[in-house]
Amino acid sequence: MDKKHIIELLPEYIDGQLSDNKKKEVELHLKECEECIEELEGLKNLFTSFKEEEEVSPSDTLRTNFFEEIELEKITDSKIVNLNKSSFKEKPSWTNNFLKIAASIVLLVSVYFLGKQQQNQVLGQEITQLTSETNSFKQMAMLSLMGNKSASKRIQGVNFIEEFAEPDEAIVNALVDRMLTDENINVRRTAVEVLSEFISSETVKTSFIKALKSEEDPAIQITIIQVLGKIQEKKAAGAMKYLLEQENTQPYVKEELESVLPNII
């Protein structure tokens, strides 16, 4: 059992869907392969990360800054009294106390907002890091599923694109590969439907045009023709003419081509 094979089995291993023999083979392999152990831990972290929410507490730095400001206020307060003793000696005591209280309130409010700002900055950095790590786990899970031997698992992997707001080039290329080379027609259909949501990508446009010359399923052909026709992709004209000229192209596919071609030539 090579490393690629064991990686493909990890999602089913976590779900408990492997036969006893396969499970034993996986566990035996995991005892000797650090790389596969890391893959397994990554997938487990992905599946559990959404169920856990860590409580955010004020950082040690924030606490330290707060108490330092309090000590500074004590020192500053005593200096104010000493420096202004002669100036305030003729004023009523309640006025001095009022000014001290007001100054203390202003300082506390300032310290609060300063601490709040620092905490928000730290929290923002932590969220960014967590988002990056989560996306990495998602991508690993998606690519692992799309490489699975089971067609249903590959379809799950293709549909996992919904977890990404902006999929990167590696994910798009993996989807294109499923669309162009997968032996299962349902996987290819799903990949076409998913990729049609990202038709602004030059990679997707090029792969759709390429698929017109290699794909034999009429339903997929029509979907691609409609998508390229909707955006009036002129580069697709050659591939559409090629498909129109083929004897094995279904009549209703040719009708679709004849209705779309005039709008993009």
Task: Decide if 39 contacts 7 (C-beta within 8 A).
Answer: yes
What number of other Cβ atoms are within 10 A of residue 180's Cβ? Answer: 15
pLDDT (0 to 100) of residue 97: 56
Using CB atoms within 10 A of its CB, is residue 51 exposed (0-12), middle (13-18) or buried (19+)? exposed
DSSP 8-class letter at 249? S
Task: Decide if 141 contacts 45 (C-beta within 8 A).
Answer: no
pLDDT tier at 242 (50, 70, 90 boundaries)? Answer: very high
Q: What is the pTM of this model?
A: 0.51
Structure token digits, residue 141: 């899970």
19: left (phi over 0), alpha (psi -120 to 50) or beta: beta
CB-side exposure of 224: number of CA atoms within 13 Å? Answer: 32
Task: Decide if 69 contacts 111 (C-beta within 8 A).
Answer: yes
Angle, nearest 10°, between helix axes 93-146 and 3-15?
120
88 pLDDT above the threshold of 50: no
Rounded to the nearest 5°, which phi and psi values hold at 113?
-70, -35
92 pLDDT above the threshold of 70: no
Most confident of 38-47, 112-121, 141-150: 141-150
Higher local confidence (pLDDT), 142 or 58: 142
pLDDT in tens, 105-131: 777 777 777 676 666 665 566 555 555
pLDDT tier at 77 (50, 70, 90 boundaries)? Answer: low
74 pLDDT above the threshold of 70: no
- Specify the CATH number of the domain 1-53: 1.10.10
- The stretches of the chain forming alpha helices (DSSP H) are 3-15, 20-30, 34-49, 60-83, 85-88, 93-146, 151-159, 169-181, 185-195, 202-214, 218-230, 237-245, 251-264
pLDDT in tens, 158-206: 888 877 777 888 889 999 999 999 999 999 999 999 999 999 999 999 9
The residue extents of the domains of the chain are 1-53, 60-137, 163-265
Alpha carbon distance 84, 99 (integer Å): 12
For the domain 163-265, what is the CATH superfamily, name and number? Leucine-rich Repeat Variant (1.25.10.10)
User: 100: closest CA among 72, 69, 67, 74?
Assistant: 74
Q: Which of 71-80, 135-144, 163-172 has the lowest mean pLDDT?
A: 71-80
